[in-house]
Structure 1
Amino acid sequence: MREPDSMKAVQELVDAWALRPDGEPHRSPRADVLPVRTADGVAAVLKVAAPDEAGEHAHLVLRRWGGDGAVRLLRADPHRHAVLLERACTADLSTVSDEAACGVVADLFRRLHVPAMPQLRSLTADVAASARELDMLPRGSAIPHRLVEHAAALARELSADAPHEVVLHGNLHHANVLAARRVPWLAISPQPCNGDPHYELAPMLWHGWDAFAGNIRDGIRGRLWMLVEHTGLDEDRARAWTLVRVVLAAVRELSGGGEELTRYVALAKAIQD
């Protein structure tokens, strides 16, 4: 959890940037968020995030995107992991149909996948390390070994056959796409890296899980197909990247061994079968 005094940084930035609180603060393990008004009366959001390698360069990509597909960056203090952002609405993609959500995400990918930035980590090295991590997983783990072996093999193939890299959002899903005033939808909370666009689809499958109730296998496959259809990505490569990401997510859940682990394993089986 965030430290009890973590809101201190928020208050310091409110004072330093001449902001006025304009709503209730929201606290989570990942960030403190406060709706504010600027000195000019502009509605904004002040976000102070926990130190996190995944989101370390979020301010850089938000500035690079310049509001095209994502909320605008108004100001940043990288040393405090703080950003002042354009304020979007509260409605997210869970309020629209699955087909419509996949179409919105595909359109955002086309806007956000700009040329690679030298400041960002590359997936090529990461996926090679992931293959080694999977090779070391004990056979007796709660993840079926056939899934682990398949994901490890795919990770090696993907690292050996790396395409031209672009900037990836890294965590685009229903809750990270908000309705907005100047355009219908905007992305928030990037975890950016440089890599293969096919890497992007997995979060859209492990979120919005309730829609799969009673029909997990067909629901997952149907949503994956819709994403591929809307994005124009290669289905086999999208399936490969998704399986690798899902199995790695399951590995991270092994210590908990609860509902999330069961969900990731079910998702991986649906993709592989």
Structure 2
Amino acid sequence: MRTTRSAVLLGFLLALLSVPLAPATPAAAHAALVATSPVRDAVIGSPPGEVVLVFSESVSPVVGRVQVLGPDGRRVTAGEPVADGATLRIPVRVPDRPLGTYLVSYRVISADSHPVAGSFAYSAGAPSATPPEPVSVDERPSGGWTPAARYVGYLGLVLAVGPTLFGAARWPRRRRRRAVTATGYVGLALVAVGTAGTWVAQAADMVGVPVGDLSRGDLTAVAGSDVGPVLGARLALAGIAAGLLTAVAGGRAGRGRRVALAVVGLAGLVTWPLAGHPVASPLPPVSILADVVHLAGMSVWLGGLFTLAVFLLPGTHRRVLGRILPAWSRWATVAVGWLVASGVGQAAIELGRPGSPLHEVPADEAVDVVAGLLPRLWRRAAGPFTPLAEEAVGWRQRLPERWERAGRPYGRRLVDAALDQLDRLVDTQGEQVLVNQDLHAGNVLRATREPWLVIDPKPLLGEREFAVVPIVRGAELGHSPGAVRRRLDRVTGALGLDRDRVVGWTIAHCLAWSLDGDTVFTNQVEVARWLVDGT
């Protein structure tokens, strides 16, 4: 008996350590800003009548948290922002002094209930001498409330499902049920506490303030969001389950009540994916089903192990256990099968089936795709990423040596041009963000969970102008002076980048990557020559 109990306790511990309580969630966690009009940091001739933001999934604006400030620091928003799916339109009036830098700040809630906040600037006529300061935002001011509430709810499911299942189907006749019934109520109480905590965290994330600064109005506002009714339904279902629990766990309920509790429990499980990432996945019905199956499997397996270890193994006759344990083994097998199946299903959805590379679409369309992807990849970061400045120092040192060892395969003037560009560019860079030095059209693939996915990243920390170099120099979208110049003009115009700096980085990068031992990559040399000659 002691050996059996120890084995079950060990299994329970291993389960807690090896099985994530949370269901599988999408890798693309929430919405991201993919495009703006005017383009970030662009300088346009006159101020527009509206500002347009395009996200990667549907969003809804937080009241009072979307605004445009004019060059004088005053609001120029002319009305409430309007969301249409993934597009947010902000009406803007023209101020008395229209020339200068405008600052757009936004806070929206994505389809998966997560907040997305940020800011960007554009200028009319010319940038202001003292432009408005970018807004510093905390996307998740709820801090640890969200994960804490989530896991309290999951623990509640474990304590509510396992003991109730055993009490209804496999409880020994001579064993008292009071403790197991009480554990079920504790589980439902934890579900309610976790749900209330999620409500509070959602309020904090919606309005952008810490939990301690929330007002009653902030808490009430959650009811009007997409996630509010779902959380309310979960609380109501927990209350209904509490009314049915005593009879079912006590073994006194008829088939009708048992079925009713099962239906209520299933409906309660559905509220978790409805309030989270699966509603924004590429296949919402499948993702929702996968999450429900995952939660059910987790609750049955861990809840059953807990019930066995705490209530049944101590004091139950070996002969009685001989009838209980085989049944439990079958339940556990099914539950683990659910966990595996749901994990595989969610992984298949998230990974998708990468399809054709970007260079199979028309060149202009491909450049526009890259222009939409890059702002999502430009993230402020620190180590362990190598700074572009450090990488460029290595290029400057190695290029003349490799050129000599390769037998001077092209004119010295190209080497000198690359070195001059590096001397000019390295110490005068703009804001440092993550850039990919190999984002050419062969490393962007069509996929399922996103229209396009970037593969084979070679990240550096550098200015935005460097990030477009691979798409400009790459031969996949056409290799001719005209094709290179067209890509250069199109991508720098779309993203509001300094064209001259992009040209300089392209010359330097092409020649830095033009030699590998005795191998000369002539395509890279030709692009550099075309740009140096201005052809």
Gap regions ≥5 residues in structure 1: 1-15, 18-37, 46-70, 73-85
Distance change >3 Å, CA 172–CA 189, structure 1 → 2: same
Q: Equivalents in 1 of 2:477, 2:368: separation in Å?
A: 19
Which of 1 and 2 has higher RCO (CA within 8 Å, sep 6+)? Answer: 1
Choose from 230, 233, 246 the match for 2:510: 246
Structure 1 runs of 4+ with >6 Å offset: none
- Separation (CA, whole Å) in 1 of partners of 2:489 and 2:433: 22
- Offset of residue 198 of structure 1: 1.5
After TM superposition, give the deviation of residue 89 of structure 1 in Å. 2.4
Match of 1:92 in 2: 357
1:229-268 paired onto structure 2 within 5 Å: 229-252=493-516, 255-257=518-520, 261-268=521-528
CA distance in structure 2 between the partners assigned to 1:109 and 1:267 by the alignment: 22
Number of positions where the alignment pairs a residue of Structure 1 with one of Structure 2: 193
Could you tell me how far apart the structure 2 residues matched to 1:192 and 1:240 are? 19
Do 1:167 and 1:194's aligned partners in 2 also have CA atoms closer than 8 Å? yes
Q: Give per-residue Cα distances to partners, 1:201-233, cap 9 Å, x unaligned.
A: 232234344633xxx111211111112122221
| Separation of aligned partners in 1, 2:461 and 2:441 | 22
Q: Does 1:228 align with 2:492?
A: yes
Q: Which protein is bigger by CA-based radius of gyration?
A: 2
Q: Name the SS for the 2:513 alignment partner.
A: helix
Alignment check: 8 A CA contact 2:441 2:474 kept = yes
Map of 1:139-150 to 2, 5 A cutoff?
141-150=408-417
Q: Is the contact made by 2:387 and 2:460 (CA closer than 8 Å) also made in structure 1?
A: yes
Query: How big is the shift at 1:183?
Result: 2.9
Structure 2 equivalent of residue 119 of structure 1:
384
* Cα offset, 1:163, TM superposition: 2.3
Q: Say which SS state the counterpart of residue 404 (structure 2) adopts.
A: coil
| Matching residue's letter, 2:518 | S
Give the % identical residues: 26
Secondary structure at the counterpart of residue 514 of structure 2: helix
The question of whether the paired residues in 2 share the 8 Å contact of 1:132 and 1:152 is answered with: no
Number of the residue aligned with 2:404: 138
Describe how 1:67-216 pairs up with structure 2 within 5 A: 86-136=351-401, 137-138=403-404, 141-209=408-476, 211-212=478-479, 216=480
- 1:211 aligned partner, one-letter code: G
Question: Matches of 2:438 and 2:365 in 1, distance apart?
Answer: 18
Using the TM superposition, give the Cα deviation of residue 251 of structure 1 relative to its aligned residue in structure 2, in angstroms.
2.6
Asked if the contact 2:430–2:464 (Cα under 8 Å) also holds between the matched residues in 1, the reply is no
Alignment gaps of 5+ in structure 2 = 1-17, 20-339
Q: Secondary structure at the match of 1:132?
A: helix
1:236 deviates by 0.2
Aligned-residue offset at 1:44: 4.9
Contact 1:127 / 1:158 at 8 angstroms: preserved in 2?
A: no
Query: Contact 1:43/1:87 (CA < 8 Å) preserved in 2?
Result: no
Query: Between Structure 1 and Structure 2, which shows a larger proportion of helix residues?
Result: 2
Normalised to the residue count of structure 1, the TM-score between the two structures is 0.63
CA RMSD of aligned residues (A): 2.6
CA–CA distance in 2 between the matches of 1:207 and 1:164? 25
